[in-house]
Amino acid sequence: MKSLINKAKTTHDLTRDEILSILKDDSINEYLFSVADKVRKEYIGDEVYLRALIEFSNICRCNCVYCGIRRDNENVKRFRLTKDEILSLANFAIQSGYKTIVLQSGEDSYFTAEMLAEIIKEIKKNDIAVTLSIGERSFEEYKLLKEAGADRFLLRIETTNPIVYKKMHPNMTLENRKRCLFDLKKLGYETGTGSLIGLPEQSVEDLADDILFYKELDADMIGIGPLIVHVDTPLKGQVDGDFILALKVMAITRLLLPNINIPATTAMETLVENGRLKALQSGANVVMPNVGLENAKKQYEIYPGKVSVDYETLKDDLKKIGRTISLKRGFRNDNKSFLE
């Protein structure tokens, strides 16, 4: 098994069966994490890219079964920030030293592409990258947002198993999700995707397929998070996703896509103490601190207990593991290139 991991370290290639055998063997976990850490160091170095996350609306027309801000959850207090509120948070992030702003929301059609374009243009007057995470839109809308200056887009595939996908996302299709991702790529966005680990009926085979899908898309960013069960959803009473399994999927992704940007996700830190640092030592190179207002943070409860961290605390934590905060905007092109 170790020689398989060593092979992936140099070739950045594994078959579905090989991925599966690594996922199924827990005796090599620490070795896998250490090799993913080496690959991260070789291609990206010790600088960590920070992305300031602004959650600007928790109003959502989707009804994703696991998500705390799903349409049918009546226990959420809904909010929507104004343009000025969003811009003032963005300014705060810029003053704090962030080089990327991530605008994330539920699928809130109140924010038309034109409105979002105005906000993006305003933020882009600064030397800063803008990432969107607003869900599924048409090619034309994505195009307008790109032309307004958006640099990147995050849209997790969540799972590539069509049956699980259908059960978890009422009235949505895996096909359209993929269409969105390939449209984003075509439009020149740095495109991010990823999976939820621990969805009901999801198998390790599915996770292997997810990883192969990241390759197929040539994703520029991959965010992997364990499912954290929210009591106000139909998943109430089910078990959370497995942190180690999530970490393994992330580490294998690092071996196969060595120069992409991979966050240590908030869900990892929420589920396990020091999960963020463990992830940063197992292939991750990005952290996305939430810079929103306290009220909004509470109300944007996609899962319970979501932790947050500020710039200075993070800086100290990173120092403890020999890492520093990058002053670059942190595009995939800022990392070492690799040729297949």
Binding stretches for ligand SAH (CB under 6 A): 66-67, 104, 106-107, 133, 135, 155-156, 158, 196, 225, 227-228, 230, 267, 302-303
Q: Single out the residue of 316, 80, 17, 63 nearest to residue 169, CA to CA.
A: 63
- State in angstroms the smallest separation of the CB of 300 from ligand SAH: 8
- State in angstroms the smallest separation of the CB of 66 from ligand SAH: 4
Alpha-carbon distance 238 to 227, whole Å? 10
Q: Pick between residue 104 and residue 160 the one whose CB is nearest to ligand SAH.
A: 104
Q: Pick between residue 128 and residue 267 the one whose CB is nearest to ligand SAH.
A: 267
Q: Pick between residue 43 and residue 300 the one whose CB is nearest to ligand SAH.
A: 300
Q: Pick between residue 177 and residue 323 the one whose CB is nearest to ligand SAH.
A: 177
- Reported as type and span, the H/E element at residue 173 is none
Is residue 60 within 8 A of residue 71, CB to CB? The reply is yes
For residue 48, give the 3-state DSSP assignment: strand
- State in angstroms the smallest separation of the CB of 96 from ligand SAH: 22
Q: Cα 86 vs. chain centroid, distance in angstroms?
A: 21
Q: Pick between residue 67 and residue 117 the one whose CB is nearest to ligand SAH.
A: 67
- State in angstroms the smallest separation of the CB of 27 from ligand SAH: 28
Largest Cα separation within the chain, whole Å, is: 55
For residue 34, give the 3-state DSSP assignment: helix
The β-bridge partners of 105 are 57
Q: Single out the residue of 246, 242, 274 nearest to residue 262, CA to CA.
A: 246
- State in angstroms the smallest separation of the CB of 136 from ligand SAH: 7
